[in-house]
Amino acid sequence: MNNSYEAVMARKSEIMKKSVGIDYNKYEQNYLSFDYEKMLSDCNFSLKEIRKIQIENGVGNTPLKECKNITKLARKVSKKGYGARIFIKDEALNDSGSFKARRASISCYQAKKMGYKGVIAATSGNYGAAVASQAAKYGLKCIIVQECYDSKGIGQPEIIEKARACEAYGAEVVQLSVGPELFYKFLLLLEETGYFNASLYTPYGIMGIESLGAELVEDCKNQTGHEPDMVVITNAGGGNLTGTTRGIKKVTDKDITIVGSSVNLKGLHMASDTDFNKKSFTTGHTGFGIPFMMNPDRSDVPRSAARPLRYIDRYVTVNQGEVFFMTEALSILEGIERGPAGNTSLAAAFSLAQELKEDQIIIVQETEYTSAGKHHQAQLAFARENDIDIHFGNPQTEIPGKSIVFPKNINQIKVQDLDLNKIKQKYIHNHIKGYKKISHRDIEFLAIETNTSAKFVKDILLDNKIEVEE
C-alpha cells in the first residue's frame, strides 16, 4: 500500500469510517447541511446510561465546591450589592484527573462493545491520560499520538508530563514535532492497527460530557436551592462547551448564561515551529478556540459533533498572567491546587462575578489535576528559558510570545469580550465558500449552527451573491 503523505490523506475518509464505525455520509443533506442531532441520536446513549457507565468506571459525581474566599475577594472590588457566589466543579477528582475522563469513558465503552482491540487518540492534553486510564479498565490496548517538540527537540513541560501520565496507565506514546505529520501518523496508525478512533469530536466524546452539565445544575440546586445563573466553560475545540450545555438543557429549562473562556494567544500560530514553545498554555486558548468555532470540522473526524456556536451566549478571553495569578489564588485562598485549564475559567469567573448580584451564582465548570510539568511554576520557568518577560503590571499590556504580565492590583483582572456576531459571520462565510446556490434547508442549518436567524444568513448570502434554490 502506498503510504506517502498524499496517498494516506486521500484515504482519510475510508480510514475514519472504519475506525469510528459511523457512516457520516448518511447524515449529509442538500448542499452543505448535516443532521447532527440524528447522528447523536443514532448512537443511542441516554443520559441515564452514560451516568451508569461512568460511575462504574471511576468517573463522575465530582463535588461542587464554593470558593468563599475568592468570592469575598471579588466583592471587595465590586460595586455594592454585586459579586456573585463562585463555585467550581472539581473534575480533578475523576480517576485520570480531568473532565476528559467523561469523554474517554464513553469512547472506550463503545470501542469494547464494537469489538475493537485497542484505541488511538491524537492529543497533547489531558485527554490522552483519560483515554489511557479508561482503556486500562476495559483491557484495551492504547496508543496516544502527541505533538510534543519543536524542530530542536525541545518539548513543553506540560505536554511531557501528560506523556508520563499516559505511559503510567499503560499506553504507548508516539511523540512528534509540530506540523502536519501528526495527522498523517495518526491516520497511518489507525489503518495499520485497526484500532478505534477515540477522537474528542465523535458523538461519544461529546455525549460523555453531558453528565457534567446535568450534575452541576443538580449539585447547585441541592446545595443552594437555586440553579446557577452563569456557567463559565474553558473553550478550545468546542466539545467541552457543547457537551456541558447539552447536559444542562436536559435537566433544566432555566435560561442559564453560557460563557466560553479562552486564554488570549493572539499573534501566535499553533502550527508554527518558532511559536510552539512561546505559549504557556497548551489548550483552552484562542489558537484552538477561534479556528474551531469558525470551522469545527477541521478536527480528526469527517464531521465534528462539537458545535459551540449553537450553545454559547458570550465568548471572553483572559490573559496568561491573569490565569497564573488566579491559579495561585485558588491554592492560597481556598487550599485547592489545580492545573491551568480550569483556572482559565476561574480567572474569567472572578471578573464576571463582579457583573452579577451577590445572590446570584456562577459556576466554573471544571478543574484539572496538576503535577510537576503541569504546575504553573514549571510553565513560568519554561517561559523564562524562552526569553519571555515576566513581571507585575497591567495584564492588558501582555503580548503573547513576548511577555506574561501578572496583575499588580486585583481589580485589573478583567475579561475581554469577543464579538460573537463577527465569528458567526465568519463561520457562514467559511461554509458557503465555493457555492453559487444553496437550499432553504441549508439556510435553516446555518441559522441553527450559528444560533441566529434565517434573515441573518440570507443577508450574508445576498452580500456574496449566492442564490437560494426555489
Beta strands in 376-461 (DSSP E): 389-393, 403-407, 416-417, 437-438
* Residue 190 host element (H or E): helix 181-193
pLDDT at 270: 84
Contact (CB, 8 A) for 117 and 90? no
d(CA 324, CA 158): 14
pLDDT at 440: 94
pTM of the model: 0.96
Angle at CA of residue 319, ends 316 and 321, nearest 5° = 150
Grid cell digits, residue 219 = 449539585
Torsion region of 83: left, alpha or beta (phi above 0 gives left; psi -120 to 50 gives alpha): left
- Mark 173-189 as b/e (b = at least 16 C-beta within 10 Å): bbebbbeeebbbbbbbb
CATH entry 3.30.750.80 includes domain 49-96+204-417: no
pLDDT tens across 285-311, in order? Answer: 999 999 999 999 988 899 999 999 999
- Please identify which residue in the block is written with the cell numbers 458567526: 424
Contact (CB, 8 A) for 134 and 204? no
Grid cell digits, residue 374 = 503541569
* Residue 196 host element (H or E): strand 196-197
| CB-CB neighbours of 339 under 10 Å | 22
First to last CA, the chain: 46
For the chain, the structural domain boundaries read 49-96+204-417, 420-468
Beta strands in 311-408 (DSSP E): 314-318, 361-364, 389-393, 403-407
pLDDT string in tens for the chain (470-residue length) = 899 999 999 998 899 889 999 999 999 988 899 999 999 999 999 999 999 999 999 999 999 999 999 999 999 999 999 999 999 999 999 999 999 999 999 999 999 999 999 999 999 889 999 999 999 999 999 999 999 999 999 998 999 999 999 999 999 999 999 888 888 999 999 999 999 999 999 999 999 999 999 999 999 999 999 999 999 999 999 999 999 999 999 999 999 999 999 999 999 988 889 999 999 998 899 999 999 999 999 888 999 999 999 999 999 999 999 999 999 999 999 999 999 888 999 999 999 999 999 999 999 999 999 988 889 999 999 999 999 999 999 999 999 999 999 999 999 999 999 999 999 999 999 999 999 999 999 999 999 999 999 999 999 999 999 999 87
Angle at CA of residue 144, ends 143 and 146, nearest 5° = 145
CA distances to 13, 161, 193, 260 from 306, rounded to whole Å, are 19, 27, 26, 13
pLDDT tens across 113-169, in order? Answer: 999 999 999 998 899 999 999 999 999 999 999 999 999 999 989 999 999 999 999
